[in-house]
Structure 1
Amino acid sequence: MSLPPACSATSTSELNDSVYELYNPGVESVLDVVFFHGLQSSHTSLPHLSTWISSGSHKEVWPQTWIPEEIPGARILSVKYDASIKKSAEHGRLDLYVTAESLMHNLINAKVGQHPWRPVILVGHSYGGLVIKQLCVHAHFSESLHLSDKQSLHRFLNSVRGISFYGTPHHGISSFFTPNGTKLKDASPLLDYVQLLCAESRRLHENFDALRLSYKWSIAGVGESRPTTFMLDAESENAVAVSREMIVVEASARYGDFTVELEDHISLCQPESRTSNTYIRLTSFLQSNKENRRIPDNLQTVPKMAMSLHSHLLVEVQNILRGGPAAVALCGMGGVGKTTLAKLLFNELCAEYEYTCFVSLKKNTKEIEEEVYSSMYHLGKQLTKRVKEWQLSDLRQKILLLVLDDMDNGSHVAFLQDIVSKNDCANSRYIVTSRNRDILNSLDSCVFDVKFLNPKSSTKLFMSYAFPYPTEPRPSLKEWVRKIVAKCDGLPLTLEVIGTYLKTKVSESIWIQCFQALDEAENVVSLDEKLWAKLRVSYDRLGSQEKN
């Protein structure tokens, strides 16, 4: 039943014992697609590749070479496990439960389903579809038992968007695998188990279908309409017989958005070309689910361009937080982008923490406490909008990511220290921002200075507000763009406010007046006062109705 060895020359990365990366887009992927192979009539070391070889004149592992052309941002993975029908000292001895448990651990290790807004699609052929179903059921019940990897299992189940089945026996299997069917010499316990499983497939299917409804997973499937030809060992040790069998009948394979194709059990997952129905069905399914991205409720709103402007510092701070110490502080004057960077860090890291909270600090400690109570999220969902339905002491030994924005006095420091003490968890992380380095030096934290933008980045940010793509400045305004950007001193907040104000202004005289006002603001000595003087440039030029 196994297919020929892989013929594609495309490199494959082994992430662990079971999970192989067929394609990595080289950037943050928009989708993870994981392939699960079926039973193998003899042991092969490459079932994760050989199952998925195209049947055309040019043999290639089509998930590895075709799908990236359709969805360049997708990461493609394939898993390998013992699925040999024949037994030996090493193979054909595992059962579905053991396989699912091991695969779940290895998929989490490969970061599948561990990103807050990256969808996961699972694709299974035959027995691989049963593995997927058992994998999901195992993850659900393990999460319910509050095991140590509960967070990872929760993230995985919530990241799955859909499952595509190729010839999977949801409701039993043909006589080929029944006691009265054709016998295989050295038939393995796995084959006996599949027979038992198919007899109890209704229970597995009911459990899985309940999960499908709960998590709103999309289901697609294709079934065979032609018998499959096999070379089989008969009763006699030396005899060889040719058998033609319908492996999975339509009634058993039908589930979800289902079609029957003019293929046998093996050719279902061996499309001849990119125009084959079995391939088009899958890519359409992937495209539709790629757009169905579930955004966690706790993500912070940041400007689209912020990631590129702060990319180097963002990576550096993330690496520090993941390796320790427990707290990181972002220091800089007002308007330099501390809050934006803190929000970016929060969005990138929040999926790794059970509890998350982003708070803009107030002067009054009681107000800060109320903000924490109403802004705390558990696994991406808000705990409550009502104050005091839980206590800070409830966070003890919970993995927490807390951001305190704009720390500027000793009471803020004391508040953070109180939470750290009550939380008492070595894996928790804290991010604070402040203009005051003396306050940050009183904390046991790694302090980063958030610097001004360089001229190139400043111009890029200003243009995104003043002239959103595809608009361009008139020739007479280009010189004023350069001069006004220079007067903004690399401060993102000033660039945003002035750029937004000038967005609808086409008169050169208005740009000249704006430049002159910014130039006058240079006379202010204090950096903070200079910032506010420049921000007032746009406000002072609004009409009374616009100000109100």
Structure 2
Amino acid sequence: MARALLSSIITLGAKLVAATRSSGSVEALEDDMNWTMSTLKGIQATLRDAEEREIREESVKLWLKELREVAYAAEDVLDDCHYEVMRAKVEARTAAVADPSKKNRRFGEVCVDLEALHLQEEEAQVTDFVAKDSLRKRKIVQVGSSSSEGKEEVIELLLSDHDSASNISTIVIVGKGGLGKTTLTNLVYNDPRVRQSFDRTGWACVSEFFDVRRLTKAMIESISHGSCPLTELSTLQGNLMNLVRGKRVLIVLDDVWNEQHSDWELLQAPLLCAKVAKILVTTRNDAVAVIMQTLPTYRLGYLPEHQCWALFQHYAFGGMDCVDQCNLEKIGKEIVSKCGGLPLAVKSLASLLRFEVDEDCWTEILESEEWQSYVDNETFVALRISYHRMPPYLKPCFRFCSMFPKNYQLSKKQLIQLWIAQGYIQSDSRKTMEEIGNEYVDELMRRSFIDHMSDHSTFYGEDDSAYKMHDLIHDLGGLMSEKEHYAMVDAEMSDLSDEVHHVFVKNNVETVLSGNLTDLRTLILTTDDSKIIHLDDLAKAQCLRALELEVHFLKLPNSIGNLKHLRYLFLLHYEQKSLPPSICLLYNLQILVLAYCHQLVDLPESIGNLNNLRHLTIAFSSIGRLPESICQLSNLQKLPEGPLIYMNYQKDLETLLTYGT
């Protein structure tokens, strides 16, 4: 992450020096800025070697962590200076630009550390990964799978009538991580025979944190296909009882780890009202099967080697037989044998090798020391190998995804905008940052690090796509991020570590707001209820680049204008008629989303000061007209169109699109 971050810093610094030269207002700053830029380039040149050594040398990890923190501090210093230049332009006067000399001393300390480590100082090269399909003959290979056999067995268990004293029957699918338990369960769940046999169906993702209230709520929302505002367990259970009473019900509980029988009994209690309730559970834990099952356990076996090879061919060769590359086929089969019959391991490495036709690269993966690192965990080894061979520009984007909870559906548009806010996407003379972000998402999908789930429209009418990460890939992202990313769902926490920089919080948001916010760069707050949240503590989050408030709040504090690093601001359910004028001091702001702010009737007159604004989304508000200064937003990409905005300022939109594109 540090290399990508420093690339962003260097780009920003170059712009700042150019800006100071053109304005003629900060000549004294140039020497300091140029020295800082030179130092950062030196740090950047060492990181490629450092990241390679991180795989094998634990001692380097501590140094990299410190380097990352210094890089963050450097970015803040340069950003402060850049902010002052922008402020000076807005106010049409000479700015007193902040002096970075104090931070420069810290950069000097890092230079001493660089010499002590004797790391290679060579320019990092970004490899373009291109699939060489020209080397492959167009002979289609069919992908074999044992899922169809397993599917029929599980369906037979589900649909059979069993003599039991209870109306609730539980089938447990047990298997190692990466075997395809969730895939098999999906096939069963969506089979027409199964759908026709049940009146109500629901799916809840469990993972490590088995919270009865959260899971009951998830079952309600899945069965009813809508959100549930209830928060108390007793009322949630009553609601679920009403939904299932006298019905035939199928519930899937995916990825269960909890071994407490009392929690299990409490969770299934509302299902006693159903006529018939079948529960399908997936787990890696044999003890869970013993506790939960009432019907025979289905143990998912390893994929046979010939089917693993077919799967490998499908992803590595695009479904075509590589008849002209006998050596690659030989090496590929040896790699497959190391994957231990685990489909996710095969898929991960095959997706990586789709971009490689060099025999040495294939051999390097076959002989990687990583295979000795995690005994009896072939899937995680394969994922680590794939990660370490990911292009440097893509790694921070992947790690950022681990800040969201497991099984969270990632919005493509939201993800790209958050990446832009963090500086992970650099502008290109040929492409917009949004276009580059789309390519990054597509590349993560091609490498099998994320899976496409669906295409849909956003609440403001634009096309979007949803993606998910496999649990093991999410675990990998968390491991590689070194505690920088954190997700809290229904969890109490006294304070955040200063190592955490990106946080997703669902419910109990007051706990986070009252704690340490100083080092946060991303803060996403969501809640299931309509409780009013007070945001005065946001003033502590001086380093924020991205802030998303999907909560009910009466007032946005005027101190929001002090968050001068902010690039992304998403406000949902804002309950005031106007935004605080200080929001127009956020000169770095690139994305502003105002959704379901029904009370909002106008925007600040100085909104045109936000010259870096790329996206302004207004959905379901009471805004009647846009301020005239809106036409100063020359970087704006587009505005929402159609019935989601009030048509009585359509003329303003036409003017803006004329001047701003």
By relative contact order (CA 8 Å, sep 6+), the higher-ranking structure is 1
Structure with a larger share of its residues in helix = 2
Bigger Rg, which one: 1
TM-score (norm: length of structure 1):
0.40
TM (normalized to structure 2)?
A: 0.34
